[in-house]
Amino acid sequence: MKRFAWLIAVAVLALVIGFGAGLGAAAKTYQFTGVVKSSDAGTLVVEKSAKETWTFSTDKDTKGTAKVGDKVTVTYTMTATNVEVKPAATAPKKK
């Protein structure tokens, strides 16, 4: 009976660790540093170099306000809002 209880305890521990690792992967953040080129309601445009300019969407939950010319570091996450699925091509059948 003790052996069974230990087995259950180890299984529960493994599930908790696995679940925690999954949450950590979902919350991965990235950073982009540059100079603010424009900032208006809902949009922030940041230029890192002459060849690299990114546009970020902002909302009421975005922390911090930036003015044109400020050097900023934007912390963001990549979250899919829509996934369009097209079936994989099937190989022609052999005769």
pLDDT tens by residue, 42-89: 999 999 999 999 999 999 999 988 999 999 999 999 888 899 999 888
Residue 94 has pLDDT above 60, yes or no: yes
Q: Is 95 domain-assigned?
A: no
Read off the pTM.
Answer: 0.60
Closest CA relative to residue 69, chosen from 27, 37, 24, 95: 37
Q: Is 63 domain-assigned?
A: yes
Which amino acid is located at 38 in the chain? S
CA distance 11 to 85: 35
Q: Is 22 domain-assigned?
A: yes
Number of domains in the chain: 1
Q: Is 83 domain-assigned?
A: no
Q: Containing domain of residue 72, as a range?
A: 2-76
pLDDT recorded at residue 49: 92
Token code pair at residue 40: 């208006």
Q: Is 89 domain-assigned?
A: no
